A and B are shown apart, each in its own frame.
Chain A
Amino acid sequence: MTAGDVQPDPAGPDLSSGSLTGPLPGNLVQVRADWIDFYDTHYHRVVRVVMLNGATRAEAEDAAQEAFKESWDLLVKDPDRWQAVTGKAAWIRTVALRRHRRPPGPRHRPLIAGDELPDLPADGPGHDELTVQTQLVLQALRALDEEARTVIAFDMDGIPTADTAAALGITQQRLRDVRKKARTALKKLLTETSAPGRRQP
């Protein structure tokens, strides 16, 4: 993406324009079908990225659901703008992270009406069933600052550097600097906690 590209703001696109009514032309049916593919491919991974950024499972699911809802709304109201979004994988993750960090209105509004109460938030991811090593990685990530955590989480998810930098609104050089510092910190933290005989959480 270049500086001249117009992208909906991941923090909240203007959805005021566009028509909701009328039959769908064939290409829009295809766009919607592609969105379902996109959802299928990325939903679990977006939940994971938010968890890697310190969210509980319930918080991560809420944020992911709100992000996909936002992308669906954008697609329905202005399909051209949705299609114009480059680096959709980075975009949806960025929206989810912003939803997690700065939730609009009442927090954790359940998207699914109904029959289940959301899990109560815990101090951390709170998954006793995860191995100690994975919990150590999550704990080490929480020790990083917000930007560094996001860069590492996007790296872990295979998001291209250029897309991450664009989604975060930083230069690629800045991203490389953040990554280098974050990895050095992670190595130090994980060496301290995960080596045999070292301190465990």
Chain B
Amino acid sequence: MKHSDTGDTGDRGEMTDEQLDQLLTAANSELLEHIEATANPTQVLSAITRGDRQDHPAGPGGPPTSHDPGLSPAAAMISHRIRARSLVLDLDLAYDRASDLTLTLDLDLARASERDLARASDRDLTLASARTSALALTRALTSARASARNLTYGLLEDARTSAHASDLLAALGLASILARGLNSVRDLARDLTRALTLDRALDRAREIDLNLDPGSELRVLRARAREIAEPLNELQVDASDADLSDVEIRQLDPLDGVIWTRGTTWPADVAAQVEAHSEEIRPGVYQVRLGNTRDRDPLARP
């Protein structure tokens, strides 16, 4: 904050504009930290949007079960699984990008330093490589953030009326925290990208490498994404006679354990694969069992 329009009066022993700005900035930061450490915005968010549902006129047979009246509980649950999986995969990608960047900073710049950056072309190459990695990281984080947002929104829509409300609310809380964490990591990545455009990028990059490590924060966020995804995958989904034709299913993985019947409508492009990977558990009732088949794309990754 800089609004130095009052005149500098430091020579009369009064505070200067700069000193005032420093005081205000420090107080502002401390207050925000204090609020962030003690507030529970997720609970407030849930309460605010819950009011929206309470305002909805109830249709025949009771209150609406979803903002999308065509979405069955099974379809909603499979959608949560798909979104959670997407978040996990996005974070894996972001982590890989962060690792690439760290490698660039650690190795390339260190090597360049040993050569004292004798050749401008070496320096430019190194900077270009670091910038590319930083931009790729930012893009991956943006995608992960969008996935987290989609998951949060989907859970929010479904949490109150689902039979698994408490599980979904728990996932919602985690997803919301994760989304905020992603905001801060993405800001770091952006800072990094900007810093790498400076002329004295080597010194700055070293400083960044020492002080900002998107990878370490990402490790925490990756673990959190799995904490969200795994319980969702363990909840039983009964899709008997459900219409799942509008659910976008690209991998079978989110369907593991789903119970279905001949009355279930699958998207045409996965119906045969689902049948091939299912077992009849009761007459006319089937369960998707992927086991360790090649179609399964386990979340657990080293």
Contacts and interface: CB of A to CB of B under 8 A. Distances in A.
A158 interface: yes
A20 B55 contact: yes
B5 A40 contact: no
Given A190-B15, A191-B15, A45 B32 contact: yes
Given A23-B67, A133-B27, A44 B36 contact: yes
A184 B56 CA distance: 51
Task: Using C-beta atoms within 8 Å of the partner chain, give the interface range for chain B.
Answer: 35 or more
Nearest to B8: A187
Contacts, number: 133
A98 interface: no
Interface string B25-54: 111101110111001010111011101100
B179 A40 contact: yes
A118 to B, nearest CB: 13
Given A21-B57, A112-B44, A158 B1 contact: yes
B39 A43 contact: yes
Contacts of B1: 155-156, 158
A33 B153 CA distance: 6
B69 A29 contact: no
A93 interface: no
Contacts of B49: 72
Interface stretch (B16-24, B114-122, B132-140, B194-202): B16-24
Interface stretch (A3-11, A142-150, A175-183): A175-183
A156 B28 contact: yes
A120 interface: no
A131 interface: yes
A48 interface: yes
Nearest to B68: A23
A51 B61 CA distance: 46
Interface residues of A, number: 54
Contact of B48 (A69, A133, A158): A69
B9 interface: yes
B6 A184 contact: yes
A129 B23 contact: no
B299 to A, nearest CB: 24
B69 A23 contact: yes
B9 A24 contact: no
B47 A111 contact: yes
Contacts of A152: 24
Contacts of A40: 41, 176, 179-180, 183
B34 A130 contact: yes
Contact of B5 (A43, A51, A176): A176
Contacts of B34: 127, 129-130
B70 interface: yes
Contact of B3 (A113, A179, A194): A179
Contacts of A88: none
Interface of B: 1, 3, 5-6, 9, 13-17, 19-20, 23-28, 30-32, 34-36, 39, 41, 43-45, 47-49, 51-52, 55-57, 67-70, 149-150, 152-153, 156, 176, 179-180, 183
Interface of A: 20-21, 23-24, 29, 32-33, 36-37, 39-41, 43-45, 47-48, 51-52, 57, 61, 65, 68-69, 72-73, 76, 111-113, 127, 129-131, 133-134, 137-138, 152, 155-158, 176, 179-180, 183-184, 186-188, 190-191, 194
23 contacts: A20-B56, A41-B183, A47-B39, A48-B28, A48-B31, A69-B48, A72-B48, A73-B52, A73-B55, A76-B55, A111-B44, A113-B47, A129-B34, A130-B34, A133-B26, A138-B27, A157-B28, A179-B5, A183-B17, A187-B9, A190-B15, A190-B23, A191-B15
